[in-house]
Amino acid sequence: MHKNKLITVIGSSNFDIIISVKKNPKAGESILAKDLFTDYGGKGATQAVTASKLGGNVKFLTCLGDDVFGKLVFDNFKEKKMDLEFIKIFKDQKNGMAAGTFDDKGENIVICYPGANSLLNKDVIIENLDHILKPGIILTQLEIPLESVEYLSTKKTKDNTLIVNPSPVDNTIDYTPILKNVDILIPNEIEIGQLAGMEASTLEDIKRASDIVLDMGVKNLVVTMGGNGVLIKNRDLERHIEAEKVKVVNTVGGGDIFAGSFTYYLSISDDLVESAVYANRVAAISVTREGTQSAIPQLSEIEEFEKFLIN
């Protein structure tokens, strides 16, 4: 193992409202919920908290509102002993929010309100660029203004590994200016199809879509495919990691916990495949329980991973 590289996460922070339902509703349908939970989320925050909880050397750049939800989110970061240096609080702004449902099959529907996340613009990146470009790993997503991610991708140096979790994807946008500068892209099976401009419903489809995205300039792909595992692909490597067999309860934060744990393990190993294997296990534990950040496993649980497996 290597000494922990610096991990700088740049992304969103949300307060989450999660509703448990027997079956997700159709358009126009009203249903009764089974239960309701609140948690702390946002793709950036969940990824940063995951990497930090596992032992990563994490700095997190994010924008919060000064409303009641922003205060709750800030207190959550303090409770989790996150570094608070780059957490920006904006006066008279609403914090980011996410509302979602998950059903008995573990499938989820999530709607996000950006709030203060939309203020993490290019100016904020420029203001903090000296720190962001310190040697290490930069991890970001698409829940912040696209101009920020694009600018960041053009400024990274040979001392930075840029990891992008391309979520959410807007089919009307050309992401090539960003993708050509990305060292590691972590999409799910839907997002890889969207980026490639094709339907990707089978493993062979996903492999073809991955080749299209690699042609856009991405150096390495780590595609999360839920129950179908993980595909790692670059010009010299293709590796399919089977999904771990666990009892799925809720998949809401699974992708972000994967990205955070992958980045953590990469920071101590520099090994693409081993990082994906590790993250596959961490994310598998997380989907066996309810919640977003509250679903992030303890280190002791990861060490006893086998107890979560089912036949």
295-299 own/partner pairs: CB under 8 Å, 24+ apart: 295/250, 295/252, 295/253, 295/254, 295/257, 296/46, 296/49, 296/50, 296/53, 296/253, 296/257, 296/260, 299/54, 299/55
Q: What are phi and psi of 183, to 5 degrees?
A: -80, -45
Of the listed 92, 256, 270, 271, which one is catalytic? 256
- CA quadruple 278, 217, 240, 45: dihedral sign: positive
- The β-bridge relationship of strands 14-20 and 35-41 is antiparallel
Asked about 103 being catalytic, the answer comes back as no
The CA R_g of the chain, rounded to the nearest whole Å, is 18
CA distance 40 to 12: 11
Q: For the chain, how many residues are written? A: 311
CA distance 308 to 287: 10
User: Order of strands, edge to edge, in the sheet holding 14-20?
Assistant: 35-41, 14-20, 96-102, 108-113
> Tokens at residue 291, please?
């919640």
Please give the torsion angle defined by the CA atoms of residues 69, 72, 74 and 76, in that order, rounded to the nearest 10 degrees: -140
Residue 137: strand pairing partners: 7, 161
Please give the positions annotated as active site: 256
